[in-house]
Homo-oligomer: A and B are copies of this chain.
Amino acid sequence: MQITPISPECLAHSLENLRKSRPLVHCLTNEVVQEITANVLLAAGASPAMVVAAEEAPGFTAVASGLLVNVGTPTPDRLAVMHSCARSAREHGRPWVLDPVAAGGMPWRDEQIRSFLDDSPTVIRGNASEILALAGLGSGGKGVDSTDSSDAALEAARVLSEKTGAVVCVTGETDYAVKGDRAVSISGGSEMATLVVGTGCSLSALVAAFLAVTDDAVTGAISACALAKRAAQIARGRSRGPGSFHNEYLDALYQIQPADFLGEEA
């Protein structure tokens, strides 16, 4: 597989577009991370909306800029709404992101997650254990945490991408956005992010936001990863633990400017 880093100019351009157009992201996410997901989008320069009722959600997807489906706390009712919205996204040409939380750990959940592959997600964003499991190559994580490194899931990402047609974004110490044989990568970030619930889930929302302002889903996915990694790195330098990290992360997402990506190695 051909792995290339993402160019600084490209990242700067993506963020500039995000800030200009402030895309509206329809978030169907789990019970635990709704607040941080909204706050990450707001801090970065997008606009979140959690519209969850079957009566109005699919219609809302049609007018939003992008959709997030995160199955962290699935129930049959919520899954039905998520499917309706995913189909609405496809019908109305809106990009949508699937976050297959804890794939590989529980059979009922796995069945539910796999059923979303038929709704043609634009991007599937997960950790290594989740992507390995979805590609049929893994042994499952521990709860929602990954027990594999993102490098180990690169081949699984390729398989899953070819099977589904989606860009597969596998995140960890290095983040990859994979489309068939092509992979783009970004390194950095901070392990402290794994001690704040919702940093991964909200990254998937951020991917949906960037998809709305980039021409190509590989670029959109990796732009979100790059912004998140950069913000995490800044936050780590300013924090003493996961409590302060959380705030510094939001502050950094807000402070980072397009030009900050220029003049350095990606």
Complex CA gap A35/B37 in Å reads 11
CB of A35 within 8 A of CB of B38, answer no
CB of B31 within 8 A of CB of A242, answer no
- Digitize A143-155: 1 where CB-to-B-CB distance is under 8 Å, 0 elsewhere: 1110000000000
Contacts A31-B52, A108-B55 given; indicate if A254 touches B195 (C-beta within 8 A): yes
- Digitize A46-87: 1 where CB-to-B-CB distance is under 8 Å, 0 elsewhere: 011111110110011000100000001111100000000000
By a CB distance below 8 angstroms, the chain B residues around A246 are 39, 243, 247, 250
- Digitize A18-55: 1 where CB-to-B-CB distance is under 8 Å, 0 elsewhere: 00000010000011111110110011000111111101
By a CB distance below 8 angstroms, the chain B residues around A108 are 53, 55-56, 59
Min CB–CB distance A242 → chain B (angstroms): 5
A241 contacts the other chain (CB 8 A): yes
Choice from B60, B241, B254 contacting A43 with Cβ under 8 Å: B241
By a CB distance below 8 angstroms, the chain B residues around A38 are 32, 197-198
Min CB–CB distance A196 → chain B (angstroms): 6
Closest B residue to A49 by CB, please name it. B143
Contacts A38-B197, A251-B244 given; indicate if A73 touches B47 (C-beta within 8 A): no
